[in-house]
Amino acid sequence: MNFELSEEQKNYTETVSKFVRREILPDILPLEQAHRFPGDILRKAWELGFLNLSIPESVRGYAVDAVTTALIVRELSYGDTGVSTSAMCNDLANVVIALHGTPEQQSRFLRPFVEAPLIASFCLTEPGAGSDNSAMTAFIRKGNDGVYVLNGEKCFITNASFASQFTVFCKAGSPKGLMMACVIVPCDLLARAETAEHPNGSREIRLPGGGTIRTGKPEDKLGQRLSNTAAVTFEDVPIGEDQVIGDRRRGFQYVVDVLDFARPMVAAIGVGLARRAFDVALAYTKERKQFGQRICDLPVARDTLVKMWKKIELADLALLHAAWKVETKAEDRGIYASLAKNTAAEAALFCANEGLHLHGGYGFMSEYEISKLARDAHIIDIYEGVREVQDMIVGRELV
């Protein structure tokens, strides 16, 4: 593995960094306090080519490898992890199509995201099935006319309130079945639907061929408030054979493939937040004086800064290693994806919490960015598999 970035990778990181400093950081606290979905920011990111990075070259016209994708997500996350989560979830929804869809499905389901700044949702988690995907109850069943019908409820779905396409994992046959399928409710179908928007932010989508999709009121979250999260309910939604990705009995393997891709990207989110927390804390301790000297010159504070820096660098190494494993399709990519995810989440939590501590009482005030970073950090340790699940994966692979 060569740690020297290519010229293309350098250009990407520099361009994203400039974008973050121009479009996100100057107004990040007012944006976050308003709980407003960053549609304008995402549209500008799409125009610059920072969205939908998993779409294959045959559709997109050029390819973006997993390492470069991780670098882009990392730089976006330095600005705000809600923005990067919303952007990354487009790839979460679309990568399974890129990996397992037919050329016709890739063209139908992915080309709309090349042509317009659309939003996608990845629908996996359910109220009774968090990390245990086998406990999900959403399902498709084939009717007498040969068309499948999708029913079920999903929760904590990123981008749900604004999605133009849904990637849904569900049981095949019945809620108690053992086989899992992956189906797409596509842009062209939703574009012809009748959509009713409700004052509380929920919406009801009546599909032209029958069936209804309901998205709930957006969740009021501790952090990552620029990322939209809501429940989604599918009621008698028709699913044609061409909307089923790959083998309708191999959905569990497809989930594993998606998460092996996604966990390094979550690690990139963690590294970006950790580095931002470090920079904010370092700048504050250089300015603030206690006991007649800068806080950063106090041995105990400097020791904390050193620990923060070390955790960031180690997490960054784990991230790049995992992304390289995913890019090269290494058989052991899963264990390194889990390692990167846990290492980066730990770095994010440590740097945000210690950065807040270095701010003293000011860190507890909402007008200081470090308080926002401390709230945002916790979800990195949870989504795409809590740390205990990652340890289970690592342990399973070791033995």
What burial letters (b/e) apply to 233-269, b meaning 16+ CB within 10 Å? bbbebbbeeebbbbebebbbebbebbbbbbbbbbbbb
CA dihedral 332, 333, 334, 339 (to 10 degrees): 100
Choosing from 327, 354, 369, 384, the catalytic residue is 384
How far apart are alpha carbons 90 and 164 in whole angstroms?
10
4 included as an active-site residue = no
- Go through 376-387 and write b for each residue having 16 or more CB atoms within 10 A of its CB, e for each that does not: bbbbbbebbbbe
CA distances 398 to 36, 145, 197, 317, 324, Å, are 44, 48, 50, 21, 20
Q: How far apart are CA 354 and CA 359, in angstroms?
A: 9
Query: Residues 224, 376: contact at Cβ < 8 Å?
Result: yes
| CA atoms within 13 A of residue 164's CA, in its CB half-sphere | 14
Euclidean distance between CA atoms 317 and 309, whole angstroms: 13
CA distance 90 to 134: 24
> E strands within the chain?
120-123, 139-142, 148-158, 165-172, 180-185, 194-197, 203-206, 212-215, 229-239, 289-290, 293-294
CA 356 to mean position of chain CA atoms: 25
Contact between 102 and 114 under an 8 Å Cβ cutoff? The reply is no
Look at residue 384 and give its three-state secondary structure.
coil
* Residue 271 CA: distances (Å) to CA of 23, 147, 253, 299, 390: 20, 45, 28, 25, 17
**Catalytic residue positions?**
384
